[in-house]
A and B are shown apart, each in its own frame.
Chain A
Amino acid sequence: MKKDESKELQSETSRSDYTINSPEPGPYQLHIVHLYPDLLNLYGDRGNIQCLRMRCKWRGIDARVTECNSGDRLSLASADIVLLGGGSDREQQIVCTRLQKVRPELHDYVEDGGTLLAVCGGYQLLGHYYDTPEGRMEGLSLVDLYTEQGSPRLISDIVLSNETIPELSTFEIVGFENHGGRTYIGDNMPFGKVIHGYGNNGKDASEGVLYRNVIGTYLHGPLLPKNPDVCDYLLQKALDRKYGISLSDFPDLDDFLEIMANRAAVLKHFY
């Protein structure tokens, strides 16, 4: 059933039918690079890509996704948004040796204001190292943070608030966390303040990290579909860097369903 063929469906819950009229693609293009999806693909991270892609499409922005697998040569020259997902410990170990070779490229990209979303294992790799009883995994040292393995695993629904970044302050940020690592971000700005769940280390009420145009976070769920503001924040940063334009120059999207899902996740824990 295609989206426009909803004719036969009665509107049972009034707003649940939607039609999305994607405008013709305009002159704007964003290039999304998914790093090592063959290794780092746990927990629905594909949903983040899908979310970025569709929210571009629905605004008439031409989004192109390139998967950079572990055997491929990495080039970030044309990249506008980079995604680094999570993997199991074993896969992460494989990645971390491979990543060292491309560290300079990633470092320059980040310092040049490139947009990067790193989730879970990818987030841990942003830092200096991840210490486990089996040994140390060297990170990329893109952001001044480090991770140590702890017990038990921190597994929970999680709700964050961010009152420092206006674009992220309208709604709580919701997701699911499942990590053995305890991450310490020093003086960096966290992605959000934990109001339910564990966060970086279960102690300091911080979750994730914001550094330049990088978001590092433990939030799965996947992160972006139920937090459309976070998705738009990333798109905004990328558009600004490439074209110097604002998302508000594009048509508004109907986020009714996204916001309902976000609210439901918050309400579950507070009412």
Chain B
Amino acid sequence: MVGPRRTPNTLKAVGLLVALAALVVLGLLSVWLGSKSIPFTATWDVLWNNDGSNDAVIIHEYRVPRTLLGMLVGAALGLAGALMQALTRNPLAEPGLLGVTTGAATGVVISLGFLGISSLLGYVWFAFAGAAIASVVVYVIGSSGRRTASPERLVLAGAAVTAVLFAFNSAVLLMDPEAFDQYRFWQVGSLAGRFYDVLLPVLPFIVVGIVVALLLIRPLNALAMGEDLGRALGAHPDRVRVVGAIAITLLCGAATAAAGPIAFVGLAVPHMARLIAGPDQRWVLPYSLVLAPVLLVGSDIVGRLIAPPSEVQVGIVTAAIGVPVFIALCRKRKLTSL
């Protein structure tokens, strides 16, 4: 494997600030642009004092929560992906590997197919519960007795549980076309139609997940050198893995519950972060935290503008925009190992 590229720390910090600035600009654009055109000055005025006009309603009740949700979901997925890849030391790992995404999907399928719940708000909690249960099951299967889960077993257990749940979901959906008709729009991953009623319930989970993830930076760096060296450096591999798995479940579970499965972000953004900043988790995690919402909010804007008055779901646009960037980075830079 090719050794890490050295970029001076100041340069990395500047890069992070640039990314943050881009995120702020995109946030403003996301509030400004939409199917109803509102001049930028008016948007700006209304944003800071809510005068109750039509434009103010559109901006404060539709566009602002959607933008905030996009940032939160993006941050959660990016961070969960970086955490997952660091914990399993597997560059192909994505946050859904612990069964979180499929668990959430199963929650949605159960609420659609068996309970007849068909409102977005109704199945947010089912999705979250499904994600949490699935990841606990994966963790229990993946851990080996007194020693806790090794990365490879965890990955295999995740794949096994995912396969079983996927089979269950497909069987239910194929026998219930009505449920499938709703599910197919959930499974794309979208921010449309999500307002404060979706944003507020998932907010605390994501915030806690972010804090926990950032607290893990130091021990993750120690573990990157291998289990034994990490232990010698004072890290507790088992404890780090349990806490990490909890953070991933919170982050990815909440994000998936709110916006549906958006697979590519959690997988690719940590790679982009590593290609820019090298393997040091002190940079990879913050970069993932900022770059992922840039990708998600940017994609959401494009999806809204590309074919008005209908929109293209954000899950599709993130892949359409992210994949070429990802491939270009893979080709250009020397690859950094984990």
Question: Are A and B bound to each other?
Answer: no
